[in-house]
A and B are shown apart, each in its own frame.
Chain A
Amino acid sequence: MIAPYALRLAVQSLLREKWINLLSVMTIAAGLFIISVSFFVLYNIDIATKNLPEKFAMTVYLDNSLHKDKLGPLIDSFRKKKAVLSVRYISRDEAMKELKSSLKNSDYILEGLEENPLPESLEIKLKKDEVEAETAQQLASEALKIKGVTEVDYGEKFLSTLQSIKKGFKSAGLAFAAILSTGMIFVCYSTVKILFYRRTEEIETFKLLGATKGFIRTPFLIEGAVIGTCGGLLSLAGCFLLYYTFLLRLSITMPIFKTILFPADLFLPLPIIGMVLGITGAVIALGRLRY
């Protein structure tokens, strides 16, 4: 019987203090919206960088004196490795052909070469999930121990840049979300604290009439939850509005925006996140009640 009454008290208070509550809802909505937009940007960067490993390949240069009989077992030994997706043999002629095609109109620089200076090589592609600096480094050092392998080029820079981009965005995103979440908890905390102070006399009367801490706390927790949930709902609406009325229209005139993905499913928990933030703020604001 206490729960419906607590709900009634919470609704009465929400309506009575509508301006301060509305302000809190708007602040939480703005905070969650900013987090969501940041997440939206990070998500798209993540998707874009996920395709980059497909372009990654290691090149294992072979000694020209390597006997043809040993080539087959060498290729097989690489293929057997867990991280390896494919191994392609590139003969010296093929290498020259590829070089020429990549030079296009500048292939005159190769004129005058009497002999093909390029070595035979193996192009090794790694499985998507294995494209990491450590894996490539380990594979390279193993390859260098094999007789007939002269050099391994595994694009350290490419891998380390890719990793730092991912790590950087993730850490920045997490830090940003943590700071804003703390801010939103503080907003809920302040709101509930103000409401609590405004009702100090009322609460004192409740206590003297025999109210339990649960009876006193519940309406405030409900208020925190409602404020947080409303903030979450508003930010969710903001995200959908941003995508469907802005980005989608923009993609008609600017095709690059067509590649942007909108993870609607991932935004749906926003009201729940708002509710959790609201309740957390309320719990901190109420602190330890004394009779």
Chain B
Amino acid sequence: MTLLADRQATHGHEHEHHEGPTGLLKWMTSTDHKLIGMNYMVTSLVMFFLAGIMALLLRAQLASPHSSFLNFQQYNALFTMHGSLMLYLFAGPFAFGGLANFILPLQVGAPDMAFPRLNALSYWLYLSGSVTMLLGFLVSGGAAAYGWVAYAPLSSVQFSPGSAPDLWILGIALTGFSAIFTGVNLVTTTFYLRAPGLTMFRLPIFTWNMLVTAILILIAFPILTAAMVLLFADRHFGTHFYTTAGGGSPILYQNLFWFFGHPEVYILALPYFGIVSDVIPVFSRKPLFGYKGMVFATMSIAALSTGVWAHHMFTTGEVLLPFFSLLSLLIAVPTGIKFFNWIGTMWRGQLIFTTPMLFCIGFLLAFLMGGLTGVMLASPPIDFATHDTYFVVAHFHQVLFGTAVYAGFAGLYYWYPKFFGRMYRESLGKWHFWLMTVGFWVTFLPQYVLGLWGMPRRVASYPSDLGWQGLNIVSTIGAYLIGISFVFLLVNLWVSWRKPVLAGDNPWDAHTLEWFAASPPVHHNFERLPPIRSERPTWDFHHPDARTVAHGNGHRTLVGAGVGPESGNGDGSA
């Protein structure tokens, strides 16, 4: 056993007996990354449930051809707010505001985020942006109804009058600033607050992916905010950036929006890839297969994703088809590397099918299906035929449900013992998984077929003589199964709150540094740190005699020549 180095001297003041405000005042004044991360997670889960309820209303409308359950304006407002809440207020903030805020400083061995007060400001801007957007439901005329992309000229004051569109635009601007501040915080924390010995190529993959995500945020969100300011000016100050009448161009809006919008897709995907890359090795009892390949695949995906924005605009006829098609197809290569490495990690491992592991496997299947149809859509001839049909709807729901929901809840279950120091109930978690999985495939597979039959997206009503009703009913049933599955999550949280089962600091025998801290972590996180000699310091500390060689472990050799199932990962540098 190696003796632990004492890191007490690191902090200028005592953290054993931290005393601060309590109750509401604590919630308002805390700059602790753990509390802020928890605030982010709770708020974004509320947004997720609100948006999910909206989705159920939309599916109820579509279950019959000429449904009068919702009127057209209500339907348009609901699908707009469903998309906006899910994409702007749930999937992104849940990852980079919630999980990353809580976990990333722990994974790098830092006492807090680099700029704690900026971090708190991010949360307040996120909360006020969310409230601003939701206020649209309360003003006259109802919420914004131009789709989550707010294309000009539909979003102009002529076609979308009232104050709800303004609230939507201002809400996006506020949450945009919140995301930028969080991005700055994540980059600085990763660059400057790592523990000694934790070199860049020993960082957990989740931290790497959050770093790359933060760079994508810094690339994408300022452009979104700029586009929103110009849109607001068009609506109220008489400018003509996006209107042809004054010499502007609606295509400019699409260019600006998608230069944000496509990196945004990967801002919503890469953190979740990181969660999966952290969870699968732990429950395969192996180091990650191909660590460096994983890091470079993340970077390549991020880089390529910023060069493909106009593949959402193929049918405008205003874009460079071969350029955007080529780069879009290329993304399949690093994504394929990731799949290869995830499967390689599980290969001959001792798999333990806990709830987080099941969610990761569910992610692999969902994202594979979504990714393959994405490759199809990257080809302009297919895109011309399926653009704005349910085929596209099914594609991006499989991608985003795979990442934000499957992998997101894998992360929630995986780190739940770290957040609260207590276990969730495994059986309820598995009920959640299986019911959600059935619901997921039943919801979205019929939508591919409907899309190929020609059913357009964003319609509240369809003719009854086209034979679309049967598959729409199937899809609606699936959506309600997904909705019911989340009751199991809530019951699980309730049960573990009322009847706690203590988890201990490291219930999974996990690899990375956050599992070395107490559960829940103390103020300023670490009383002590283990020596860091590989990408999985906690595991090394608890298994000093192990034969495995993790990546970056230059100080331990493989004992014996036998290459057992649990031996190295191929590019270990022993």
Partners in one complex: no
